[in-house]
Amino acid sequence: MPHYFDAAHRNEIETLRQRLTARTEWPTWLLLIGVYVGWFSLVLMSNRLGVWWSTALLIPLLVLWLSVQHELLHGHPTRWLTLNKLLGYAPFAVWYPYTLYRDSHLLHHRDEDLTIPGRDPESRYLTAHDWRHSSLFERNLHWLNKTVFGRFMLGAPLALFSLAKEELRRLRNAERQAWWMWLTHGMLTVLMLVFIARYSLLPVWHYLLLVSVPALSIAMIRSYYEHRPHAQPEQRTVLNEAGWPWRWLFLNLNFHLVHHDLPGLPWYDLPKAYRARREQWQARSGGFVVLGYGQLWRENGLKAIDSPKHPFH
């Protein structure tokens, strides 16, 4: 538990951890089962639902699956990493193998490196060197990606292009772990797509381009302004007081500073921990508070929220 928590705060968090809910993790188990049952049900019932109703229901389900995978890599609902990996390896969202997401995301939790390009794998900023050597087209893309609309439209394609570039480099370098990971993920993805082609109304191309990519685009909204450059690491992480539909899809990760300070706290306890010490959390964030994703859309739908170039790296 963080050293800067006082005794009373430590006791509050420990009380959350000792509850029956936290010990059994039944909400996460129900959620995990629900996503699996929901995915297979929607695929098998797509002939009755039709292509577009199936699409409309599968997209948020995949967004939720990405959030569930995040819970699994942080040690929920079990403390056995291999079991969590097996539970979360289903390639419903297609593009990111579970182990790749797990390993890069855990590196992202080194708070002293947050936002710093080349050190934070989830940084959305460029070094001064990379900025100077970017073309005008690339700079405009980065600026557009700093708007909510641009992030929604371009965030997924840009992320997938970056993923392909980096992983092809690893494969060309004959990195054994990369080959094993992509062969395993590829085999499971092919099996899933064969299942979709055989038992659903959705064409495979439709699932890839009109289900999985839009789901990734929606997930990109969560990470649009989770972090900002700041001299103090604890003031780099947002507290977003989002409404319930977003909190549900993102499993309360909008309370992102709480999650970074207490990464072992499950998704259903994050709001309780935040509300119990709301003023303290906001003071710790240095006032880095957003009043929901609607505020971001209103203020930064078409206006860049900050510069793509990291200000002090």
| Confidence at residue 3, expressed as pLDDT on a 0 to 100 scale | 63
Residue 210 within a domain? yes
| Cβ–Cβ < 8 Å for 96, 163 | yes
pLDDT in tens, the chain (313 residues): 576 777 777 777 777 777 767 778 999 999 999 999 999 999 999 999 999 999 999 999 999 999 999 999 999 999 999 999 999 999 999 999 999 999 999 989 999 999 999 899 999 999 999 999 999 999 999 999 999 999 999 999 999 999 999 999 999 999 999 999 999 999 999 999 999 999 999 999 999 999 999 999 999 999 999 999 999 999 999 999 999 999 999 999 999 999 999 999 999 999 999 999 999 999 999 999 999 999 999 999 999 999 999 998 6
Instruction: Report yes or no on 310 lying in a domain.
Output: no
**Is residue 313 assigned to a domain?**
no
In a domain, 212, yes or no: yes
The confidence score (pLDDT) of residue 278 equals 94
Q: Which pLDDT score, from 0 to 100, does residue 5 have? A: 76
- Residue 309 and residue 139 in contact, taking contact as beta carbons nearer than 8 Å: no
Instruction: Please report whether residue 225 resides in a domain.
Output: yes
pLDDT computed for residue 63 by the predictor: 97
For 136-156, how does the pLDDT look when each residue is reduced to its tens digit (9 = 90+)?
999 999 999 999 999 999 999
Domain encompassing residue 28: 7-300
280 neighbors 274 (Cβ within 8 angstroms)? no
Quick check: is 16 in a domain? yes
- What is the pTM for the complete model shown? 0.92
Report yes or no on 245 lying in a domain.
yes
Name the phi and psi angles at 265, rounded to 5.
-80, 130
Residue 252: Cβ-neighbour burial (10 angstroms; 0-12, 13-18, 19+): buried
pLDDT for 185? 96
- What is the total count of domains within the chain? 1
Determine, yes or no, domain membership for 109. yes
Could you tell me the end-to-end alpha-carbon distance of the chain, in angstroms, rounded to an integer? 29
